Amino acid sequence: MRVRGLRGGFTMIELLTVIAIIAILAAVVFPVFGTLRKNTAKTSCLTNLHSIAQAIKMYKDDYRVYPEALYGYVDRTVDPPVQHTFLYPQYISDRAGFRCPLNPERNADAIASRLIVGLNGVTQTGMGSSDLNYSWLYYAWDSYDGTRVPHNQPTARYLVHYLRRWDTHLLDVGDTNDPASTRQLIFRYPPDTTVITWCTYHRTYLPDGSIEPGSVDMALFLDGRAKAVPANLMVADSQAHLVTPGI
């Protein structure tokens, strides 16, 4: 009786078919994973922002003023430099609460290569406030006191997002004809629509450095609302604090 042998391998057509199926699945699955990663990062970032909103209110209740920074900074006017922290660790115990998951900087050490001089992005003349001090060095991993803008350029400047006072024309606190100017944390009772900070790590850039249409930033308001806001509304450095929750 003759026994037929088993096939020793796959034909070329079968191999090509399998490869084509894998390629199709990869083309479908990879974008889905990318979207899931971004959505998870947004959720985590919004959670951080909500925690900051609660913490900053508790800080205000305790000290009657808003903090100079959210996490803190290094003061290099003294030798050796001194680290100052505000919401950490008394109000937010985990430093991870100050870092967006999309922030590529993970090193939280206070070493020179991880510290950046912050720029406020608006005219310095007439500021008259310690909120803008070039002797302060900010932490690159801290996503909410400021960020590198744009992110895709190694020589990008570091823009400070958390500012108690952003209006360079408001020289006398409380003396203004512009209602928007009252939306500043320098006031004792700023309105709930006041912007606390925003995270830019959710936006994407085109090769020329411009913001890709449809990109968003995560903005935090004093009433505790944190939401996605079109990045093109935040990109004008002197206008970001004018954004309202209703947009």
- The pTM assigned to this predicted structure is 0.80
- 115-164 tens-digit pLDDT: 888 776 443 333 334 445 567 899 999 999 999 888 877 778 888 899 89
- 26-74 tens-digit pLDDT: 666 656 555 677 788 999 999 999 999 999 999 999 999 999 999 999 9
Structure token digits, residue 220: 């935090």
Say if strands 136-139 and 115-117 run parallel, antiparallel, or are unpaired: antiparallel
**Long-range residue pairs from 214-220, CB within 8 A, at least 24 positions apart, any chain:** 218/42, 218/45, 218/46, 218/49, 218/100, 219/195, 219/243, 219/245, 220/49, 220/50, 220/52, 220/53, 220/144, 220/195, 220/196
The SS3 call for residue 132 is coil
Are the CB atoms for 206 and 212 separated by under 8 Å?
yes
